Structure 1
Amino acid sequence: MIIMKLEGGLGNQLFQYALGRALSSALSTELTLDTSYYKTSPNRAYELDNFNIAARVADDDEIQRFLSPVSKIMDRFRNSYARLIIREQEEFVFDERIRALKDGHYVVGYWQNERYFKSIERTLKKELNLTQPLSKLAGTWSEKIKTVKSCSLHVRRGDYVTNKKIQRTHGNLPTAYYQKATELISKKRPGVEFFVFSDDIAWVKENLRLNVPLNFISDTEIKNTEALVLMSRCNDTIIANSTFSWWAAWLNENPLKTVIAPRQWFADASKDTSDLLPEAWVKI
């Protein structure tokens, strides 16, 4: 059994699931998920149960096999390759210990690197479909997306704006990024319509002044998971510095898609995120 510790929003959960699924597949073992983080995080919710994932939620006894005080003390005395609790050492950088991992580990981290799960790409894209039909409003937008040349555009605000610590870390993409991105897509795909997704759609309507056709999708009636699926169904994708829209772009099945992503992912330009963005994506 592999237990993956889940934390963060939907984008983070998908990265954590993807690594866990790759490990369970390689080791022919069961994948279970520690969702205890969401019991004490009122602003976040466990959302993977909206998809056809091949995992179940771990029970308390299974988790305590690794996290009881005695178990954690014993684990500290093992060398890094023998420990049963595997913690990510450096964000975005592939951790070579994963290659040697055996069954029976508790895995903690964000694991935001495609190399961890590229080998099971087809499996993930099959499993990460919704268990339930789209809501009426989401279904209406899905039909429109199918009938036009479409590009999703994601604006991430939320705690990037309201939480000063997070804002200093992530920063906010300037309007100039979206201006250049929409110009590039419009040049490649004349007549394209842009479908805008945001956690602050009112701000976007007021402040995102772009001389292109815009459809504002986000609505309280459309769940996060539905928004992710709608974004992935567009021909092309303009992502924010957000794992949520990263996954919408990655799940996009269009073989001719153009994905535009911000070259600078964090406010701190010294952070190396070169392994976060797939090579084929356009960075600006």
Structure 2
Amino acid sequence: MYITPAITAINSKFLSKYNTGLGNVLFQIASCYGLAKMTNRTVSWNKVIEFGNILYNLYGLNHKDTIFRKCWAIAEVNFDIFYGLFTLELDTHRIDSLKHINKHLEVYSYLENFEYFNFCRDEICELFSIDDSSLEQIKESFPILFDSRYTTISIHFRGTEYINGIVGDRPWDYSFYKRAVDYYKNRISNVIFIIFSDEIDKIDLDFLGTSPYEKIHHSNDYIELWCMTMCKHNIISRSTFSWWGAYLNDNPEKTVLYNYNDSFIYQSLFTSI
């Protein structure tokens, strides 16, 4: 039996060239990959392919040959929609029920819980690994990421959605970012902070003090995501996008900091401050 993720971003009213919902999509892909292993099913990527084609046809974005290039197997079968898996909790009872459903299933849920796939993390990292062309582009455009004189630390600000009130009316919490910056400055020498945001020019950088920094902004979100993974450490926002930037970071000594006010999907995996 096949299992495939529904890609909710396909019907998002916020979908645009600069907001593809990539963080949410990666959770749906990775969680369905893990569910396939847990329930002895074969994973298919029908909706991922559809989404990749939409991004290419509407915006000229080449996710299908980059971040989604290993999610390109299609099953020519009819899928039944499967609802009810919790977004933020691992529902072992519902997972067990999947083993006894003799149908091809399209799982409709955000699936924002790393426990769906953390047991096969190495495979997930390979699934979303960088392609050679994108790596060369990053080396050429952002050499600071490869400069051994510095310890690079990414800082992500969730931009447009916060500013427009889509995910609540909280402003950016600069006190958190200052705490995080001080944490690293007190422990590591030769740090440089790499700033990421889709509203990068609206950020007040006073919280950095005299710390060196660079801004990284690229029209392709997957390029920014991979740039985050290349930093030695990560300061993340309440964002699935920056969560993935930290999760896919393969530095075994990385420290990932998040705001203690934002439990979200971070507890037990990263460090609150």
Q: TM-score range by the shorter chain?
A: 0.7 to 0.9
SS in 1 for 2:5: strand
Q: CA deviation at 1:192?
A: 0.7
- CA drift of 1:56 comes to 2.8
TM-score norm. by structure 1 comes to 0.77
Between the two proteins, the alignment pairs up a number of residues equal to 249
Q: 2:44 aligns with which of 16, 31, 34?
A: 31
SS at match of 2:106: strand
Q: Is 1:86 aligned to residue 82 of structure 2?
A: yes
Residue 239 (structure 2) aligns with: 242
Partners of 1:14 and 1:48 within 8 A in 2 = no
From the superposition, tell whether residues 136 and 124 of structure 1 become closer, same or farther in structure 2 (CA, over 3 Å).
Answer: closer
Q: Is the 8 A contact 1:151 1:195 kept in 2?
A: yes
Aligned to 1:79: none
Structure 1 residues 140-179: aligned runs within 5 Å: 140=140, 142-146=142-146, 147=148, 148-162=150-164, 164=165, 166-168=166-168, 171-179=170-178
Deviation at 1:135, TM superposition (A): 6.9
Return the letter of the residue paired with 2:270: W
Cα displacement (A) at 1:99: 3.7
Please say if residues 218 and 224 of structure 2, whose CA atoms lie closer than 8 Å, have aligned partners that are also in contact: no
1:153-185: per-residue Cα shift (whole Å, max 9, x none)?
1011112212x3x1427x343111111111111
CA-to-aligned-CA distance 1:111-164 (integer Å, 9 cap, x gap): 1111100111011111211334227662235532222211011011112212x3
Structure-2-length-normalised TM-score: 0.79
Q: Which amino acid aligns with 2:127?
A: E
Percent identity over the alignment is 25
The structure 2 residue matched to 1:264, chosen from 256, 261, 264, is 261
AA aligned opposite 1:254? N
Deviating beyond 6 angstroms after TM superposition, the runs of 4 or more aligned structure 1 residues are none
**Amino acid in the other structure paired with 1:130:** I
Q: 2:91 aligns with which of 92, 95, 116?
A: 95
Q: Does 1:14 align with 2:64?
A: no
Q: Provide the secondary structure at the position in 1 that maps to 2:46.
A: strand
Secondary structure of the residue aligned to 1:260 is strand
| Aligned residue in 2 for 1:71 | none
Q: Structure 2 unaligned runs (5+)?
A: 10-20
Q: Could you tell which deviates more after superposition, 135-144 or 150-159?
A: 135-144
CA contact (8 A) 1:33 1:58 kept: yes
